């Protein structure tokens, strides 16, 4: 299968590219993104065939329908990484919370957040393409907390790939920081910056666009790439778990095959929701996709009003920081799918030039046939955490909690809902401890112990160990010195 471009074709880049090419250089003509020329049609036969398949069997068959230019043994090696999840037979458990409400837990991988679902296999795929082409890649990552650990974990000791990961010193949780600074491998460099996440992100964008930096890398025979969530190499692995979650409900006899369900997704850059949308287009029986946001509610406004407007918006820090995003990159792929490349180009140019765009009434109603949305603030989220724990015995993180608001306001309670849980309680423990017992400003280690006691849950070994591991990545610098520091590492 080939990949085409969301904003059309400007004659300097190839009109279509292979999967490998779309992975290595994810930015298409006019700054657009790559999308599959045509999604495979799976339909109900595919679902019936896989009612008793393991996650890997399902994944392997689904990926084969995309006919991508990756060798089957590489795909197998990539999918084998799901064996390292808590339950190798079922890396994504789906848990009943109450009548008609199920949670699909996407956080049972090595870094305890959903980024592992895609980044774990992606690391194998990217490294294998680099080896095959006899090329060396530098992956740049800027993180507010979850992407960094997952990217380091997946590329650790992989051939032909080095990673430089930028994080705002003091801007992540203790657990997230420890997951990065204790990562010990020759091909990894973690750099703390005196600044906030935007400083790290802007530095990354500057480097990705800098010709000087690229020629300095070229002298060392290194090409530049990024592992951010617009990369289709990540999206493709995010289609699988939506199908798996549906089949889990069939296996649990919660639904009959063919019955429609809501997919309720805590959204930031829209990769997770896009995976659900593609699964739906490929034949998964879905009633609607519900988008849940926090106070940074641009997506909710888009889906409610048709206006994407950043003119009066600035990012606010919330208790669900992985969703503190205003420019939600993967929405572009939805616009392309619904309205075509000419209109997508127009809308995305409006966003760049005027910082806003507006859909027509017809376009908005098309969008609303597939999506609804609501946002949940931090206090509401904490109340959902406490109430759901006390009434239903289910403990969740603040990102997952945002879905409970939209569940109440956007869905018909007679139809089953799958809420996607994107992080384990261990990653955002101070917020959860505050929600459960009212304690304030606890350090992670204190909060972890208090939740562990209150909820009678063991702290997983990989989290426990972090507090005893040696800190091997101790670089903290000013943002002006990032380029120099990276070249020194290479
Ligand atoms: C990345 C992330 C999200 C947002 O996912 P998108 O695919 O960017 O919409 C939500 N929750 C957590 C915990 C995350 O790490």
Predicted confidence (pLDDT) per residue in 82-101, tens digit: 999 999 999 999 999 999 99
184 by DSSP, 3-state: which?
Answer: coil
Distance CA 315, CA 313 (A): 7
User: Nearest residue CA, atom 2 of ligand 1?
Assistant: 322
Q: Residue 134: what pLDDT?
A: 95
Q: What is the CATH number of the domain that holds 442?
A: 3.40.50.1100
Measured from the CA of 272, which atom of ligand 1 is nearest? 7
Ligand 1 pocket member 271 (CB < 6 A):
yes
The answer to whether residue 216 sits within a structural domain is no
Which residue range(s) make up the domain with 398?
A: 80-113+233-467
Give me ligand 1 centre to Cα 263, in Å.
15
User: Nearest residue CA, atom 11 of ligand 1?
Assistant: 422
Ligand 1 pocket member 276 (CB < 6 A):
no
Q: Residue 179: what pLDDT?
A: 96
341 band by pLDDT with thresholds 50, 70 and 90:
very high
Domains in the chain: how many in total?
1
Give me ligand 1 centre to Cα 112, in Å.
12
String of DSSP letters for 87-113: STT-SS-EEEEETTEEEEE---STTSB
Q: Residue 63: what pLDDT?
A: 97
- Is the confidence at residue 14, as pLDDT, over 90? no
The answer to whether residue 369 sits within a structural domain is yes
Q: Give the number of other CB atoms < 10 A from CB of residue 314.
A: 7
| Digit-coded pLDDT (tens) for 355-398 | 999 999 999 999 999 999 999 999 999 999 999 999 999 999 99
Give me ligand 1 centre to Cα 269, in Å.
7
Provide CB contacts within 8 A for 281, sequence distance 6+.
39, 337
Ligand 1 pocket member 268 (CB < 6 A):
yes
User: Nearest residue CA, atom 1 of ligand 1?
Assistant: 322
The answer to whether residue 215 sits within a structural domain is no
Measured from the CA of 238, which atom of ligand 1 is nearest? 7
- Is the confidence at residue 248, as pLDDT, over 90? yes
Q: Estimate the share of the chain in helix, then strand, then coil, as percent rounded to the nearest 5.
A: 50, 15, 35
Q: Residue 413: what pLDDT?
A: 96
The answer to whether residue 252 sits within a structural domain is yes
- 244, 55 Cβ separation under 8 angstroms: yes
Q: Candidates 122, 228, 266, 297: which one to mutate for ligand 1, based on the most atoms within 8 Å of Cβ?
A: 266
Measured from the CA of 145, which atom of ligand 1 is nearest? 15
Measured from the CA of 267, which atom of ligand 1 is nearest? 9
Two tokens at 66? 């995309």
Measured from the CA of 400, which atom of ligand 1 is nearest? 11
C-alpha dist (Å) from residue 10 to 14, 405, 423: 9, 43, 40
Mean pLDDT for the chain?
A: 95
- Is the confidence at residue 453, as pLDDT, over 90? yes
Ligand 1 pocket member 150 (CB < 6 A):
no
Give me ligand 1 centre to Cα 437, in Å.
26
- Which of residues 197 and 426 earns the better pLDDT score? 426
String of DSSP letters for 223-256: EEEE--TT-HHHHTHHHHHHHHHHHHHHHTTSS-
Ligand 1 pocket member 345 (CB < 6 A):
no
- Is the confidence at residue 175, as pLDDT, over 90? yes
Give me ligand 1 centre to Cα 188, in Å.
23
Q: Candidates 330, 422, 423, 429: which one to mutate for ligand 1, based on the most atoms within 8 Å of Cβ?
A: 422
- Is the confidence at residue 146, as pLDDT, over 90? no
Measured from the CA of 399, which atom of ligand 1 is nearest? 11
Helical residues (DSSP H) of 315-377, grouped into ranges: 331-354, 361-370
The answer to whether residue 220 sits within a structural domain is no
Per-residue pLDDT, averaged over 47-69, amounts to 97
- Is the confidence at residue 296, as pLDDT, over 90? yes
Ligand 1 pocket member 113 (CB < 6 A):
yes
Ligand 1 pocket member 384 (CB < 6 A):
no
Measured from the CA of 274, which atom of ligand 1 is nearest? 7
Ligand 1 pocket member 272 (CB < 6 A):
yes
The answer to whether residue 286 sits within a structural domain is yes
User: Nearest residue CA, atom 14 of ligand 1?
Assistant: 322
Q: Residue 144: what pLDDT?
A: 82
441 band by pLDDT with thresholds 50, 70 and 90:
confident
The answer to whether residue 8 sits within a structural domain is no
Give me ligand 1 centre to Cα 423, in Å.
9
pTM over 0.75: yes
String of DSSP letters for 266-299: E-SSSHHHHHHHHHHHTT--EEEEEEEE-S--HH
Ligand 1 pocket member 423 (CB < 6 A):
yes
Distance CA 394, CA 385 (A): 8
The answer to whether residue 318 sits within a structural domain is yes
User: Nearest residue CA, atom 8 of ligand 1?
Assistant: 269
8-state DSSP, 311: T
Give me ligand 1 centre to Cα 283, in Å.
24
- Is the confidence at residue 202, as pLDDT, over 90? no
- Is the confidence at residue 150, as pLDDT, over 90? yes
C-alpha dist (Å) from residue 237 to 185, 228, 242: 26, 14, 10
Ligand 1 pocket member 269 (CB < 6 A):
yes
């Amino acid at each position: 299968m080939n990949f085409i471009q969301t904003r059309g074709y400007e004659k300097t880049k190839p009109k279509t590219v292979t999967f490998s090419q779309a992975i290595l250089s994810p930015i298409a003509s006019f700054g657009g993104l790559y999308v599959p020329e045509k999604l495979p049609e799976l339909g109900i036969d595919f679902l019936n065939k896989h009612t008793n398949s393991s996650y890997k069997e399902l994944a392997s068959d689904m990926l084969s329908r995309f006919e991508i230019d990756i060798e089957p043994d590489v795909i197998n090696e990539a999918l084998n990484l799901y064996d390292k999840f808590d339950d190798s037979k079922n890396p994504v458990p789906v848990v009943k919370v109450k009548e008609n409400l199920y949670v699909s837990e996407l956080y049972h991988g090595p870094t305890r957040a959903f980024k592992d679902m895609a980044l774990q296999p992606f690391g194998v795929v990217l490294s294998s393409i680099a080896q095959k082409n006899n090329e060396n890649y530098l992956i740049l990552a800027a993180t507010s907390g979850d992407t960094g650990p997952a990217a380091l974990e997946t590329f650790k000791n992989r051939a032909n790939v080095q990673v430089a990961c930028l994080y705002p010193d003091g801007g992540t949780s203790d657990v997230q920081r420890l997951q990065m600074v204790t990562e010990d491998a020759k091909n990894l460099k973690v750099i703390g910056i005196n600044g906030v996440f935007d400083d790290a992100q802007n530095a990354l964008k500057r480097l990705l666009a800098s010709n000087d930096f690229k020629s300095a890398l070229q002298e060392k025979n290194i090409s530049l790439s990024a592992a951010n969530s617009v990369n289709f190499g990540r999206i493709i692995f995010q289609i699988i778990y939506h199908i798996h979650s549906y089949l889990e409900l069939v296996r649990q006899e919660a639904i009959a095959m063919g019955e429609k369900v809501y997919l309720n997704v805590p959204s930031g850059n829209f990769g997770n929701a896009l995976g659900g949308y593609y699964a739906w287009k490929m034949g998964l029986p879905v009633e609607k996709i519900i988008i849940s946001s926090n106070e940074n509610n641009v997506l909710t406004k888009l889906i409610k009003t048709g206006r994407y407007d950043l003119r009066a918006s600035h990012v606010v820090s919330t208790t669900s920081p992985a969703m503190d995003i205003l420019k939600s990159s993967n929405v572009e792929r939805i616009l392309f799918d619904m309205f075509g490349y000419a209109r997508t180009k127009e809308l995305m140019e409006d966003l760049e030039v005027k910082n806003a765009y507006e859909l027509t009434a017809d376009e908005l109603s098309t969008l609303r046939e597939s999506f609804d949305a609501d946002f949940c603030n931090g206090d509401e989220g904490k109340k959902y955490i406490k109430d759901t724990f006390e009434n239903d015995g289910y403990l969740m993180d603040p990102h997952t909690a945002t879905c409970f608001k939209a569940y109440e306001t956007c869905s018909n309670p007679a139809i089953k809902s799958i809420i996607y849980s994107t992080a384990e309680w261990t990653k955002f423990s101070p917020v959860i401890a505050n929600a459960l017992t009212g304690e304030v400003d606890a350090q992670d280690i204190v909060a972890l112990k208090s939740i562990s006691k209150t909820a009678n849950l063991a702290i997983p070994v990989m989290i426990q160990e972090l507090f005893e591991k040696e800190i091997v990545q101790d670089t903290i610098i000013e943002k002006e010195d990032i380029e120099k520091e990276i070249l020194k590492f290479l």
